Amino acid sequence: MDRLRRLTTRDHQLLRWLAEHYVLSTDQVTAALFPSRRSARLRLAQLHRLEAVSRFVDVTTGSGQHLYTLGPLGAVVHPTQFNDPNNADARAPRTSIERTERIIGSRRLAHLLGTNQLFIDLIGYARTDGNARLARWWSEQHTTAAFAAASYAAGSGTGVQPDGHGIWHAGGRTVGFFLEHDNGTEPLATVLRKLRAYEHLARYGPRYPVLLRVPGRRRELHLLDALAGVPTAMPVATGIHGEHPAGPAWSLTTDPGLRRWLHELPSDHGPDNPATNPQRFPDTDPSGPADPEP
């Protein structure tokens, strides 16, 4: 098919992300893959004409920019089991249009964009630092499925269900993490209850820091107060949406006086098991160099 031959390596990377992570904005695609917003918009327009991506106007944040999902061609190239952000067990959509409608209508759309932003920020940082790399970027559904076996092995019927999971290389260290992206809409007690599932996972491994990322300093202080002196099986660190996740943005609940870089957080990859050990379960590097602009 002629349209398939017109897709570049960079295009395929974008389609893989949209297959797993549902939606990305123009700004996010630019930061991750392109040298400028203009070049991103030109290529995205071409991909839209090829039906590799679908697009719609962002009405969740008021930015007015386009948001992108898989188009009909993209769904053929990268079929995915991640079809419904509201319900992992929902029946598969009959078409890519139906999948896009589910994403547009999802009550979690703003949450998805916020979750994806942390990973996009890390990828963008790695483009400027040859010693940094985001080696793994898993969605909520991917992470939930991958670590389910570890949770059951620990005797728990309740597995972890983070908003995302990544493995970050920087500063000569490799740090895994689980992300809990908080928009400030849930009671603090609900946020804290999410930590219980990580206690079960820690019995089997790995022990990655849980990142509680919140919209503002006041909510962060309330979380730190609630967790002061409370032992947790996993390291827990708080951060604020507006701070760059690669930098000194994280406060460990056990030592909140010092802001740490992401690569400085304590991290233990756990036993030799393919779901938890990045050496045994290598991922395609999503922050690798993109092909030149067409």
pLDDT of residue 149: 65
Q: How far apart are CA 70 and CA 79, in angstroms?
A: 9
**Confidence (pLDDT) at 282:** 44
Distance CA 180, CA 150 (A): 19
Please, which residues bridge with residue 1 across strands?
Answer: none
Q: What are phi and psi of 103, to 5 degrees?
A: -70, -45
Express each pLDDT in 131-143 by its tens digit.
999 999 999 999 9
Alpha helices in the chain (DSSP H): 2-5, 9-21, 26-33, 37-49, 72-77, 96-104, 109-126, 140-146, 148-153, 188-193, 195-202, 217-227
Q: What is the pLDDT of residue 141?
A: 92
pLDDT of 231: 85
Question: What angle (nearest 5°) sits at the alpha carbon of residue 162, between those of residues 202 and 154?
Answer: 30
Question: In this prediction, what percent of the chain has a pLDDT beyond 90?
Answer: 60
Give the pLDDT of residue 275.
Answer: 47
Residue 42's alpha-carbon distances to 131, 156, 167, 223, in angstroms, are 30, 49, 31, 43
Give residue 291's pLDDT: 43
pLDDT at 288 (0 to 100): 45
Neighbours of 94 (CB within 10 A): 8
- Which residues of the chain register pLDDT less than 50? 273-276, 278-282, 284-292, 294
pLDDT of res. 289: 42
CA angle 185/187/193 to nearest 5° reads 120
What does the pLDDT look like over 12-63, one tens digit per residue? 999 999 999 999 999 999 999 999 999 999 999 999 999 999 999 987 777 7
The tens digit of pLDDT for each residue in 252-270 reads 999 998 999 999 999 998 7
Q: What is the pLDDT of residue 70?
A: 95
